[in-house]
């Protein structure tokens, strides 16, 4: 049985209208895909449902490029048709162009944020997923690069700190050596001072001993001299007197009776003791 001719008018039944829309929409998108593949053509299809839901299809060159190309061609045609209203048309066209770009950017931003994904089909979701994966790769590579730079900077700081630490350790060792040398010099100086002090004390002690010995000798000589005087005092003194000369120039010695000493010219007794000895 042949298929009857369908009248091109609005379908009043809501369910039939929705079914027909779904079938014709899928057929339209399928035909657009077939013509793009078979004829290597750039195809862009935009369909809004009665409820305002968007359905679109575009070849690999993306919808934005096709729309921009369409706007350039439509703008060229309008420029040829109406030269008088060129400025006004340019502004209106530029406005529409910028408005379309803003809407597209907002839409892409929502899609990237995971919002309003109901209007996307499987292929568009796959493209969005690939785009997100590519963005993640770029983000991770940039993150890795920054982390490597920070690690290299930290390594440089670590090397500089190690060098400073080595320099400080070297300076500390030198200071310790200088302090030990200074301490040794001080010990040597103290030892020299102690030796000089000991030598001075020894000299003083020797001088004291010498003075003591001299005093002892002096005291012994004085004691012996006093003992000798004491012994001489016990011996009878002899006084030797020289009488005055006689007239004839002869001299005579007269000893006084009862005296055992001879006094000679008035000499002291200690000289007489040496003479008698």
Any idea where the domains of the chain sit in the sequence? 10-60, 62-120, 145-212
Q: Please name which of 241, 25, 36, 211 lies closest in space to residue 119, comparing C-alpha atoms.
A: 25
Q: How far apart are CA 239 and CA 259, in angstroms?
A: 8
Burial class (CB in 10 A: 0-12, 13-18, 19+), 272: buried
**Angle value at C-alpha 141, between 135 and 147, nearest 5 degrees:** 135
Residue 79: what pLDDT? 63
> What are the pLDDT tens digits along the chain (277 aa)?
456 676 778 888 888 888 888 899 999 989 998 998 899 888 889 898 888 888 888 887 678 888 888 888 777 666 666 655 556 666 777 888 888 889 888 888 887 787 877 777 888 888 888 888 888 898 999 999 999 999 999 999 999 999 999 999 999 999 999 999 999 999 998 888 888 888 888 888 888 888 888 887 777 666 665 666 555 555 444 444 444 444 444 444 444 444 444 444 556 666 666 565 5
Sole residue written with tokens 């993150």: 143
Angle between helices 122-234 and 269-276 (to 10 degrees): 80
Residue 166: what pLDDT? 93
Q: How far apart are CA 76 and CA 61, in angstroms?
A: 22
Residue 68: what pLDDT? 83
Residue 31: what pLDDT? 92
Residue 8: what pLDDT? 79
Burial class (CB in 10 A: 0-12, 13-18, 19+), 58: buried
Where helices occur in the chain by DSSP H, the ranges are 14-39, 63-81, 86-112, 122-234, 269-276
Residue 83: what pLDDT? 59
Classify domain 10-60 at the CATH topology level.
SRF-like (3.40.1810)
Verdict on whether the full-model pTM lies above 0.85: no
Q: What is the 3-state secondary structure (H, E, C) of 181-214?
A: HHHHHHHHHHHHHHHHHHHHHHHHHHHHHHHHHH
Q: Are 243 and 251 in contact (CB under 8 A)?
A: yes
Total Cβ atoms within 10 A of residue 212? 10
């Amino acid at each position: 049985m042949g298929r009857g001719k369908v009248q091109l008018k609005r379908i009043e039944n809501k369910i039939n209208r929705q079914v027909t829309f779904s079938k014709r929409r899928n057929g339209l998108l399928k035909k657009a895909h077939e013509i793009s593949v078979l004829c290597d053509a750039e195809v862009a299809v935009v369909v809004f449902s009665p409820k305002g839901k968007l359905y679109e299809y575009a070849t690999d060159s993306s919808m934005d490029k096709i729309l921009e190309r369409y706007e350039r061609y439509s703008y060229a045609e309008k420029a040829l048709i109406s030269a008088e209203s060129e400025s006004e048309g340019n502004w209106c066209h530029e406005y529409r162009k910028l408005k379309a770009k803003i809407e597209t950017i907002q839409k892409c931003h929502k899609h990237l944020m995971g919002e309003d994904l109901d209007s996307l089909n499987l292929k568009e979701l796959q493209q969005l997923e690939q785009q997100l994966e590519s963005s993640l790769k770029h983000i991770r590579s940039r993150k890795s690069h920054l982390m490597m730079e920070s690690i290299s900077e930290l390594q440089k700081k670590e090397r500089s700190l190690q060098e400073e630490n080595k320099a400080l350790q070297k300076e500390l060792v030198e200071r310790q050596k200088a302090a030990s040398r200074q301490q040794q010099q001080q010990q040597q100086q103290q030892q020299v001072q102690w030796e000089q002090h000991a030598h001075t004390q020894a000299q003083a002690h020797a001088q004291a001993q010498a003075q003591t010995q001299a005093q002892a000798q002096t005291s012994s000589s004085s004691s012996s001299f006093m003992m000798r005087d004491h012994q001489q005092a016990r011996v009878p003194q002899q006084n030797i007197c020289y009488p005055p000369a006689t007239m004839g120039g002869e001299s005579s010695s007269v000893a006084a009776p009862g005296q055992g000493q001879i006094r000679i010219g008035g000499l002291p007794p200690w000289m007489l003791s040496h003479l008698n000895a």
